[in-house]
Structure 1
Amino acid sequence: MRLILTLFIAGFIVSLSSCRKDFDFEPSSGNLRFSRDTVYLDTVFTNIGSSTYTLKVYNKSDNDISIPQIKLGKGVDSKYRITVDGMTGDDNRLFENVELLANDSMYVFIEVTADVASANPTDFLYTDQIEFGVGTGIQKVELVTLIQDAVFLYPQRFDDGSTESITIGEDEIYGFVLDHADHNDEYHFTNDKPYVIYGYAAVPNGETLTIDPGARVHFHESSGILVGQGGAIQANGDWSLTDAQENQIIFEGDRLEPGFADIPGQWGTIWISPGAAASSFNHCTIKNGIIGLYVQNNPAGVSIKNTQIYDHSLYGIWGQTATITGENVVVNTAGKATLNCSFGGNYQFTHCTFNNNWPSSSQFAVAIDNYLLDADGNPVPQDLILAEFRNCIVWSSNSRAFALFKNSNAAFNPKFDHCLLKFNNTGFESDPLYQFNDNVFYVNIVRNQNPNFWDVTRNQLNINDNSGAIGVGKPEYTALVPNDILNVTRVGSDAGAYQNAAP
């Protein structure tokens, strides 16, 4: 028995000693492998933090190693910050004796916040390196990001700690009134630098915000533009000659990384409030907000031409007792409707494309009604003077691309004239709102013929020779808008904003 016990103890000690090497770390010999030799952090605005980027570090040897140092080349002055395997080290810039098991890997997470003054003045690149090891054993991974200068517009902060706000009805929202005296006149957005807006930039009575061709306007979370009673916005873009859209006015969020390009809900809305003066949007792209354009009770009207409105979490265009005209407008993907003509109003769209592929079963491309519900759930009617669609496409991933909601106590006058529509009328055969041969709501429409858009997910709603929209339009309406949204001369009368062409 004693012999067996002795052998057991001896065997246990041997087993301990044989496992011991799992806890012996030898200095790194400089043979680390990396998932990339250069990490490119996408463009950021000056002094706005980047997204987090990932570098993977591999120990391909059969030995556990200890990396004496992992640090940023510019040390404590670096504008980059790193996290190593969940550790923050010394101010996210220096790490010592980092252990890495044999044939294992670890993650390094990288962020940057830098101003344009820190960048190379010739190309505006800000660079640094992550250094692994010490002395002659150092291995480096390069870090590169482009810093873009901008004009920043935001509410003032007062001495008592409060911030500037603007009043809407009985509510106050985080925002400010534009000022002629600041930034070479805040009522004139040029294309010299991008504009980054925090909160709502307000255009008050008697003022007009004028935006030049090629301007870029970026909004932080919960931000936008508010055009007040008697104010106006004139967004005067122009035709562009290249894919860079050099003369297009672009409204979008302030995250420039490609991963944010099509993410809805990043900012608020461009809000045309009741009683605003006549406003216009020409050659614009409005994308990734909550509502692209929110237009309320404005008899003076809003004109939208040659404009693309994409990827909004609620509506692309929401008109509420609004007066809106549109030509060559493309609206794609929204959480509820790409176009919502609500609580009456007066609307006319010619050669426009409305499509909604939002991943749900309840969204529409176009929704039209002539009432709203009060706090008690009772309908409040309002005349829909006209909601006319001429030579348009109304399409959706759902079986019914549009919806009509009528209150009999107010005028209700939708009209689809020479349009391509998607609507499966199963269950609606006797509904008076969907009698497609009535020549009142529907005039020479084509139904359920696939428009064959190029690529809906990439907002390419162009059509080609296989499209069901070919020749659907009325020539008299085409004569009013002879060039399509790309400035291509229309041949024939294809419905929608695009003349058909090969992809």
Structure 2
Amino acid sequence: MNIRTLIVVLGIGSLVAFQSCREDFDFDPISSDLRFSQDTISVDTVYNFSKSETYVLKIYNPEDKDLVIPRIALAKGDQSYFNINVDGQAGSSFTNVPIRKNDSLFVFVEIEAQEAPINPFYDDEILIESTQRQQHVKLISWIEKAQLHSANENIVSAQWDADQAHVIEGNLTVTNRLDIAEGTKVYFKPNASLTIDQNAELNVNGALGNEVKFRSSRHDKKYDSIPNQWKHIELKSNSRSFIQYAKIIGGDTGLKVNQAELNIQNSFIVNHQSYGILANNAKINGHNVILNNANLASFAVENGGEYAFYHSTFANFFNLVGTAGPAYSLYLSNYTMDGTNALTQATFGNCIFYNQRTPNAVVFDRREGVGFNYSFDTNLFKNVNTAELNVLSALGFSNSIVGDPLFVNPIYTANQLNVMENSPALNAGKVSIAQQYPLDYYGIPRGANPTLGAFQ
């Protein structure tokens, strides 16, 4: 290649590079209204000194010619907790932004919180100016005061209250005692868990309308119902736990109770990938407990133990696409691959057992020669396969009812497991059992006509 040719090639390359880098600000400023993909961007709740996911706003040019937007800016400017990125450039204010005819422009939005304000609601606006007027897109979020617990953190003893949330990033182990007051929120990052160690103690003291919530750290509405967003709460051997008015939502397993003692009442354990409660040779007493939506079983007992539940609802409507578990309401076994222990007691009174996926909501898996003791007194069942188990005639069952309890709305997003007026569970409970637990989940007296399950 001779020198003259090289100069021509370099000249053409420079011109192309110049043309590709220049900004076409010779377009006319837009005067008509722009359209937006949404007029309000609701950003997921964030915690102090943390950053949200990124959200997308699209701005549309409805005209048949290339134009420029005179100004796009955050109303609060550089002081805003929100960050925007306009067409690949980060900042808080942009001028003469080109937008092609009949095309769109991307604006990426996130919030990077500082100290949580007293009022957790935080808002700003994206201002979009034309030559005629100023349009705006509302930005809203909630900044929650929270304490973050790093991966594999241990605490000896602590008392959590509603003044701040607790965000668990990995596994948090309690070695002595954890007390959680009403209204407290405990959030889990993906694959995070809470472990109550051997010989330790957990006390969850929620109240009606001010329950203690255990759930995913994501606050988008859909994450209220999606399972498998975190791992589990594990109660290890010889630990002692008391749980009242808790909502445990959206993990792989709500509670893993391993050779531990648990007293649980007035609590929801719903929308879990594997189990609501998985008990291994444990001792559990419960009443007004509501379980629903678990791919394997709402309540599963392995390796025996001692259990008593009254006025509780064991439902299972797990039906996510691509899942293949049996979705039992109750699975009772006196062995596992690692051991065999007697099922010394499994007592259920005035309860409901109902599921969708299998013929029978209750399944026994017993090893002969090892204790397998159970008693079901006045319960409602789904029981189609009577050859496998006939709850109307089998030993250990009395006053059984077979039928559909007719829940108000058992799907993931609702979990309304009170029964309708024509339900066979209505006013069908045993009075002597109800007298021991005279109030339902909502504090409504059961009286002389108790309804089966957790709700009167």
Calculate the TM-score normalised by the size of structure 1. 0.78
Evaluate the alpha carbon distance shift between residue 421 and residue 311 of structure 1 in structure 2; reply closer, same or farther with a 3 A threshold.
same
What is residue 56 of structure 1 aligned with on the other side?
Answer: 58
Deviation at 1:357, TM superposition (A): 0.8
Structure 1 CA distance for aligned equivalents of residues 138 and 253 of structure 2: 40
Q: Pick from 185, 197, 217 the counterpart of residue 228 of structure 1.
A: 197
What letter matches 1:265 in structure 2?
N
Q: Pick from 343, 350, 359 the counterpart of residue 384 of structure 1.
A: 343
Work out whether 1:482 is the aligned partner of 2:446.
no
Structure 2 CA distance for aligned equivalents of residues 403 and 25 of structure 1: 72
What is residue 459 of structure 1 aligned with on the other side?
Answer: 415
Aligned positions, number: 424
What is residue 68 of structure 2 aligned with on the other side?
Answer: 66
What letter matches 2:159 in structure 1?
H
Evaluate the alpha carbon distance shift between residue 64 and residue 271 of structure 1 in structure 2; reply closer, same or farther with a 3 A threshold.
same
Deviation at 1:256, TM superposition (A): 2.2
Evaluate the alpha carbon distance shift between residue 71 and residue 313 of structure 1 in structure 2; reply closer, same or farther with a 3 A threshold.
same
Structure 1: give runs of 5+ residues left out of the alignment: 1-23, 155-173, 181-186, 375-379
What letter matches 2:352 in structure 1?
I
What letter matches 2:174 in structure 1?
V
Deviation at 1:198, TM superposition (A): 2.4
What is residue 45 of structure 1 aligned with on the other side?
Answer: 47
What letter matches 1:341 in structure 2?
V
Work out whether 1:273 is the aligned partner of 2:236.
yes
Structure 2 CA distance for aligned equivalents of residues 275 and 418 of structure 1: 32
Work out whether 1:393 is the aligned partner of 2:352.
yes
Structure 2: give runs of 5+ residues left out of the alignment: 1-25
Work out whether 1:102 is the aligned partner of 2:101.
yes
Work out whether 1:142 is the aligned partner of 2:138.
yes
Residue correspondence of structure 1 range 234-249 to structure 2 within 5 A: 234-238=203-207, 240=208, 245-246=209-210, 248-249=211-212
What is residue 175 of structure 1 aligned with on the other side?
Answer: 152
**316-325 or 258-267: bigger deviation:** 258-267
Q: Pick from 441, 444, 457 the counterpart of residue 396 of structure 2.
A: 441
What letter matches 2:160 in structure 1?
F
Checking the alignment, whether the CA contact within 8 Å between 1:116 and 1:124 is kept in structure 2 is no
Calculate the TM-score normalised by the size of structure 2. 0.85
Evaluate the alpha carbon distance shift between residue 368 and residue 29 of structure 1 in structure 2; reply closer, same or farther with a 3 A threshold.
same
Checking the alignment, whether the CA contact within 8 Å between 1:330 and 1:352 is kept in structure 2 is yes
Structure 2 CA distance for aligned equivalents of residues 470 and 230 of structure 1: 41
Structure 2 CA distance for aligned equivalents of residues 402 and 82 of structure 1: 54
Secondary structure, aligned partner of 1:412:
coil
What letter matches 1:304 in structure 2?
I
Deviation at 1:140, TM superposition (A): 3.1
Work out whether 1:290 is the aligned partner of 2:261.
no
Residue correspondence of structure 1 range 150-161 to structure 2 within 5 A: 150-154=146-150
What letter matches 1:327 in structure 2?
H
Deviation at 1:397, TM superposition (A): 1.6
Structure 2 CA distance for aligned equivalents of residues 304 and 179 of structure 1: 23
What is residue 16 of structure 1 aligned with on the other side?
Answer: none
What is residue 171 of structure 1 aligned with on the other side?
Answer: none
What letter matches 1:410 in structure 2?
V
Checking the alignment, whether the CA contact within 8 Å between 2:44 and 2:218 is kept in structure 1 is no
**280-289 or 217-226: bigger deviation:** 217-226
What letter matches 1:61 in structure 2?
E
Work out whether 1:317 is the aligned partner of 2:251.
no
Secondary structure, aligned partner of 1:461:
strand
Checking the alignment, whether the CA contact within 8 Å between 1:420 and 1:472 is kept in structure 2 is no
Q: Deviations over 1:52-95 (max 9, x none)?
A: 434332222232323355443455554323355xx422x36566
Evaluate the alpha carbon distance shift between residue 232 and residue 372 of structure 1 in structure 2; reply closer, same or farther with a 3 A threshold.
same
Secondary structure, aligned partner of 1:256:
coil
Deviation at 1:44, TM superposition (A): 2.2
Deviation at 1:405, TM superposition (A): 0.9
Structure 2 CA distance for aligned equivalents of residues 178 and 100 of structure 1: 55
CA-atom RMSD in angstroms: 2.5
**338-347 or 42-51: bigger deviation:** 42-51
Deviation at 1:339, TM superposition (A): 0.5
Checking the alignment, whether the CA contact within 8 Å between 1:40 and 1:143 is kept in structure 2 is yes
- Percent of aligned positions that are identical: 32
Work out whether 1:470 is the aligned partner of 2:426.
yes
Secondary structure, aligned partner of 2:291:
strand
Q: Pick from 334, 342, 348 the counterpart of residue 370 of structure 1.
A: 334
Residue correspondence of structure 1 range 202-217 to structure 2 within 5 A: 202-204=173-175, 207-217=176-186
